[in-house]
Structure 1
Amino acid sequence: MAKYSFRKAAQRLGIETLGGIGTRWCDLTPEGVMALMAHKSFFTKFKTESGIMVKYIDPGNTNLNKKHPARLSLDLLDKYFTPGAPILLIEAEFKTDGADFSAAEFDYATGKVFRATFEDFDRPQGRIVCHIQSTFNI
């Protein structure tokens, strides 16, 4: 399995603005599609009548939304959000997914990217829900 730094994974999608302490978790690709560094543990499979559906559900955290990188990221997602809008979710392993008063700790991006559509976004809570369409590797 590939292991990419935050910066290298973003660069593979044409984004030069991400990576390093204090930067956002998301930005637009050169094509204008939002790309978000996504917690591997927040991808969930659901059984449906037509098969298996995968969603990305980040539960958010109101305490952490006050921190600078979180606030910048959520503000950008809020400007971009429209139900059904395309989004690329860069799968990443995190050392921790965060807690009430501690931010998530990035480990590495896996190289897998999910093409998805925005389903729901709650800016005050920081909750993000996306419906997965397909995957590719960077």
Structure 2
Amino acid sequence: MVKVRNPLLVHGVIKSAVDELGGAEAVADILTAYERKAQWVRAATNPDLEGRYRARPLYEEIRALTRAGARAFAEDLARLCGMQLVPIEAGGASNADLMSGAASLMSEAGEAVATVASSLSDGVISEHERNAMRVQLMEAMAAAQKLMDRL
């Protein structure tokens, strides 16, 4: 009978990371620089060894495994914080960067519209008002260009 690890407990998270990297031996190879025997890897992936070895990876080892491609540790920490990981597309801006850019554009555009509306309220556009509109419209265009550059 195969014992199954709970994916939400420490051993389950380690097992998921080990599986992502191709097994215990692959993980042991990644961790050779850390001068510790990787028995904790085998203990985490084999419930029958749990009594003999405790799964206590060092933070540096977790970082090394994450750099090697294991997302399980980061996903677990995000879940503990009530969050989730969102991948950043290669070569592109993150959703947060794009939303920030869109918010900046809307803010600048709103200021430009308010300036134009204020300038038109008396039916006459003064040179000072015309310059203020130009400034606000240029700022809105700059925010739009910055957003375009992020895409």
TM-score (norm 2): 0.21
Greater RCO (CA < 8 Å, at least 6 residues apart)? 1
TM-score (norm 1): 0.22
Structure with the higher helix share, 1 or 2: 2
Q: Which has the larger radius of gyration?
A: 2
